[in-house]
A and B are shown apart, each in its own frame.
Chain A
């Protein structure tokens, strides 16, 4: 079955760190750019960042709102993408989705999301 499964969401204090995982199956993970998108409760979708493939040197890009605090990585041998989050703020509270799609193309596969709550 073609799917993405996120995990790692939790309750964390402001200033803390958390690492999310996105396990892929059913497609050639190593050939797909991977993205992270978040959605605060009752709000719209916000792109967090992406990581390209080995052919593109695993280049990454992040939204301005998380740049310097969040880092995206991947392990093609495990078909898994990661989102390392540090210096977390209350405004980072959201459901975090991973998604796959071609470069400069749409996201044709989404995970079910994992909830991150930043609160004291």
Chain B
């Protein structure tokens, strides 16, 4: 199956915009989902179908996808957004996750 590449870490100051990318050569053929995982907790879906936000997820979380790159954007980042973020996609009936990005808010 295809691989999804994410930057290992991203740092942002509170109130600024955080951008996390996810690249894969087949991303243009499938929807991308994004998950937030805080230490000791299960992953939580924050974006699905590239740019849709589940009920209850703050509006500051948004997603986009173009070509072979998907992007998770967190506008007005808050300290509570510090977490690991994973992208996820499908490839010929199988599921693949990106390696994860640790978002540090400082």
Contact = CB atoms under 8 A, between A and B. Distances in A.
Given A64-B1, A105-B31, A106-B33, 6 more contacts: A63-B94, A104-B30, A104-B90, A106-B31, A106-B47, A108-B45
Given A45-B100, A63-B94, A110 B42 contact: yes
A61 interface: yes
B48 A110 contact: no
Interface size range on A against B? 20 to 34
A50 interface: yes
B28 interface: no
A44 B97 contact: yes
Interface of B: 1, 30-31, 33, 35, 37, 42-45, 47-49, 54, 84, 86, 88, 90, 93-100
B102 to A, nearest CB: 10
A46 B98 CA distance: 9
A28 B47 CA distance: 22
Nearest to B99: A44
B103 to A, nearest CB: 14
Contacts of A35: 95
Interface of A: 35, 37, 44-47, 50, 61, 63-64, 97, 99, 104-108, 110-113
B33 A45 contact: no
Given A47-B95, A61-B93, A61-B94, A107 B100 contact: no
A45 B49 contact: no
B96 A107 contact: no
20 contacts: A37-B43, A44-B99, A45-B37, A45-B88, A45-B97, A47-B88, A50-B95, A63-B94, A97-B42, A104-B30, A105-B31, A105-B49, A106-B31, A106-B47, A107-B35, A107-B88, A108-B48, A110-B43, A111-B42, A112-B42
Contact of B45 (A63, A106, A113): A106
